[in-house]
Structure 1
Amino acid sequence: MGKTTKRSWAILAALLLTATPAVAADVFAPTAPDAATAHGPWQIRVRALGVITEDAGSVDGIPGSDLSYSDTVTPELDISYYFTPNIAAELVLGTTYANIHTDGSIAGLGKVGKTWVLPPTLTLQYHFTNFGAFKPYVGAGLNYTMFYSQSDAGAFTNLDVEDTFGAALQVGFDYMLDEHWGINLDAKKLFLEPDWTANLGTTKLSGTAKLNPWLIGTGITYRF
Structure 2
Amino acid sequence: MSTTTKTLMAVLIAVAASQAMGQESPWLLRARAVHLDPVDHSSPLGGTGAADRIGVSSKTIPEIDISYFFAPQLAAELVLTYPQKHKVYLDGARIGSFRHLPPTLSLQYHFLPAASFRPYVGMGVNYTRISSVKLLDGAGGLEKDSWGASVQAGFDYRLDERWSLNVDVKKITIRSDVFVGGSMASRAKIDPVLFGIGAGYRF
**Same fold by TM-score greater than 0.5:** yes
Match of 1:180 in 2: 162
Q: Aligned pair 1:96/2:87, yes or no? A: no
User: 1:121 maps to what in 2?
Assistant: 104
Tell me how many residue pairs correspond in the alignment: 192
- How far, CA to CA, are the matches of 1:137 and 1:124 in structure 2? 10
The structure 1 segments of at least 4 consecutive aligned residues displaced by more than 6 Å after TM superposition are none
Alignment of 1:62 onto 2:48: yes
Query: Does the CA-based 8 Å contact 2:152-2:169 persist in structure 1?
Result: yes
Q: What is the alpha-carbon distance in structure 2 between the residues aligned to residue 100 and residue 180 of structure 1? A: 41
Deviation at 1:63, TM superposition (A): 1.9
Query: Relative to structure 2, which stretch is displaced further, 93-102 or 80-89?
Result: 93-102
Deviation at 1:38, TM superposition (A): 3.7
Query: What letter matches 2:79 in structure 1?
Result: V
Contact 2:40 2:190 in 1 (8 A): yes
Cα RMSD of the aligned pairs, angstroms, is: 2.6
- Distance apart, 1:92 and its partner CA: 0.4
Checking the alignment, whether the CA contact within 8 Å between 1:111 and 1:153 is kept in structure 2 is no
After TM superposition, the score normalised by the length of structure 2 is 0.84
Post-superposition Cα deviations, 1:17-51, rounded to whole Å, max 9, x if no partner, equal xx9xx99xx8xxx7653555543211110000100
Query: Counterpart amino acid of 1:120?
Result: P
In 1, Cα distance between the equivalents of 2:149 and 2:37? 16
Counterpart check, 1:148 vs 2:134: no
Kept in 1, the 8 Å contact 2:98–2:133? The answer is: yes
CA 1:77–1:130: 2 relative to 1, 3 Å: closer
> Hey, what does 1:171 align to over in structure 2?
153
Report 1:198-217 matches (<5 A). Answer: 198-199=180-181, 204-217=183-196
Who is 1:43 aligned against? 28
Structure 1 window deviating more from structure 2 (90-99 vs 57-66): it is 57-66
The Cα shift of 1:96 comes to: 1.8
Structure 1 stretches of 5 or more lacking a match? 1-18
Q: 1:130 to 1:150 in 2, by over 3 A?
A: closer
Alignment equivalent of 1:111, drawn from 78, 85, 94:
94
Superposition deviation, residue 131 in structure 1: 6.6
TM-score relative to the length of structure 1 = 0.77
Give the corresponding residue for 1:8.
none
Structure 2: gaps spanning 5 or more residues: none
Maintained 8 Å contact 1:189/1:213: yes
2:175–2:187 CA contact under 8 A, matched in 1? yes
